[in-house]
Amino acid sequence: MPNRDQSSPMLYARIAGLLYLIIIVFGISSEALIRSGMIVPADAAATAGNVMTSQGLFRTGFLADSLMFLCDVALGVLLYVLLKPVNRTIALMALLFRLTQTAVIALNLLNYYAALMVLNGVGYASAFEHAQLQSLSYLFLDLHGHGYDLGLILFGAHCIFLGYLIVKSLYLPKLLGVLMMAAAATYLVGSYTRFLAPHVMAAVSPIYVVAIVAEVALCLWLLVKGVNMEQWERVTGGSTV
């Protein structure tokens, strides 16, 4: 029967995997199942119509994203605890980049919700014509998209340090670390493209498959396999997390 020293890092790893799974499911659902179906490119009127006729679904997108960043804070702390035996300073840098990313994405949800507030607004809405309100709502949704990519720049930096720590850890597969560093390149290239060369964004978008594969692989490994306890004890001297 495993003692406390053996079970603690394994438990933390599996909780981290579960949190990661929630983040992936909510993140993909809010983007692919909600926003992508509502936002009509270059058509503010159609987008506004979709938002107004599906306000419940729109608010569900807010709920999904808020739960995602709540889980992200907890996940960041657990990953720090699991990887600090490798290098405490680098693990702390990874944690801070992830927490900063989470804060940016959390605050960015105001842009998302503002798109609905504008369309439902009373008082201040009387200062604008209907078409202007639709355009303003579309602007907020566009700002939300850009704000999300701003957060992903920080997340890309987090993935560089996370990948390095996994490669050096011995108690997690090196391949997962390599995949996370590849995901870092994907996020950095994709996000900077949106700001610096938006006209080629459509051509660059397919590279996000790399990031999805990397994060799903890390999530499932933590959830199913956890950490190699023999190597954990060798690295940490048998200490608990």
Number of domains forming the structure of the chain: 1
Whether 6 shows a pLDDT value over 50: the answer reads no
- The per-residue pLDDT for 5 is 44
Residue 237 lies in a domain: no
Beta carbons of 61 and 35 less than 8 angstroms apart: yes
Q: And the tokens for 146?
A: 């850009």
Amino acid 185: pLDDT: 98
The helix or strand, by DSSP H or E, that contains position 32, with its residue range, turns out to be: none
Q: From CA 107, how far away is CA 46, in angstroms rounded? A: 26
Instruction: Report if residue 240 sits inside a domain.
Output: no
Q: Which domain holds residue 48?
A: 4-232
| Residue 238 lies inside a defined structural domain of this protein | no
For 167-185, write each residue's pLDDT tens digit.
999 999 999 999 999 999 9
Decide if 103 contacts 81 (C-beta within 8 A).
no
- Is residue 215 within 8 Å of residue 19, measured between CB atoms? no
Supply the Cα-derived Rg of the chain in whole angstroms.
20
Residue 207 forms part of a structural domain = yes
| Residue 241 domain-assigned (yes or no) | no
Average pLDDT, the chain: 93
- State the chain's maximal CA–CA distance in angstroms: 70
Alpha helices by DSSP H, listed for the chain, are 4-28, 36-38, 44-53, 55-83, 88-120, 130-169, 174-196, 201-204, 208-220, 229-236
Residue where the block lists tokens 């610096």: 196
Decide if 239 is inside a domain.
no
Examine the pLDDT at 50 and tell me if it is beyond 50: yes
Checking if the pLDDT of 3 tops 60, the result is no
